[in-house]
Copies of this chain bind each other. A is one copy, B any other.
Amino acid sequence: MKRNAKVSTAVIRRLPRYYRHLSELQRAGVVRISSSALGKSMGLTASQIRQDLFCFGEFGQQGYGYKVDSLKEEIGEILGIHRGHTVVVLGTGNLGRAIIQNFKFSSNGFQLLAAFDVSPRVVGAQIAGVPVYHADELESFLAGRKVDVGLLTVPIPAAQEMADRLVAAGVRGIWNFTNRELSVQRQDVVVESVHFSDSLLALSYMISQGGEDEPSDIQEGTE
């Protein structure tokens, strides 16, 4: 598939939304969809959608719309869903536990290998079938395996140290839920942070303005 060289952050941020919406359409039994109908369900214009998808090559046929399943497959491919990514979770407090138990890693192409904590109450146990090891074992665990991503849900004071250890041990991405900005110098390691407060403050702004803004996704972020 040909791809245009430089894809903007805004487009990258929309790709997962396309994937999510197409998955829902597929589940609803929709076979083909026009760019205007897809746009409507996502709050985008038809021309925006055609532009976005054009970044990644030719999809769909003029006048016939997009085939839902193959467009979803193509976007999944672009997102790296079939690359066998692996992840470990650091921190098994309520949030870590909620994510381990409820988040569908496999639907997003990730295999959850293990969790790490320091509490004797959980070390040695399993959470939803995922083994919990002591944080001291992190390096030896990572040394023997390809682990792409470390998910951080540790307390704030431990966040940067655990991030440093993950990077030193060779992960390529950190999925950061600690609500602390992480400093990672390596250009080849990506930090993706989920800041709940940024989301609530955006909502606070919108309701303070009288709610005239459109419903929005946290991922949206562009114009």
Residue numbers of A with Cβ under 8 A of B are: 8-10, 12-13, 15-17, 19-21, 24, 78-81, 83, 85, 93-95, 97-99, 101-105, 107-110, 148-149, 172-173, 175, 181-182, 184, 187-208, 210-213, 215-223
Contacts and interface: CB of A to CB of B under 8 A. Distances in A.
Contacts of A194: 194, 196, 199, 218
Nearest 5 CB-CB pairings of A with B: A221-B221, A80-B208, A94-B98, A16-B201, A95-B98
A19 B210 CA distance: 21
A20 B175 contact: no
Contacts of A78: 205
Given A16-B201, A108-B201, A184-B215, A173 B206 contact: yes
Given A108-B204, A190-B213, 10 more contacts: A8-B223, A9-B222, A10-B222, A80-B207, A80-B208, A83-B208, A105-B200, A191-B216, A192-B200, A219-B221
Q: How many copies, total?
A: 2
Contacts of A181: 20-21, 24
A110 B200 contact: yes
Contact of A188 (B8, B20, B148, B211): B211
B219 A190 contact: no
Nearest to A8: B223
A190 B215 contact: yes
Contacts of A79: 201, 204-205, 208
A205 B12 contact: yes
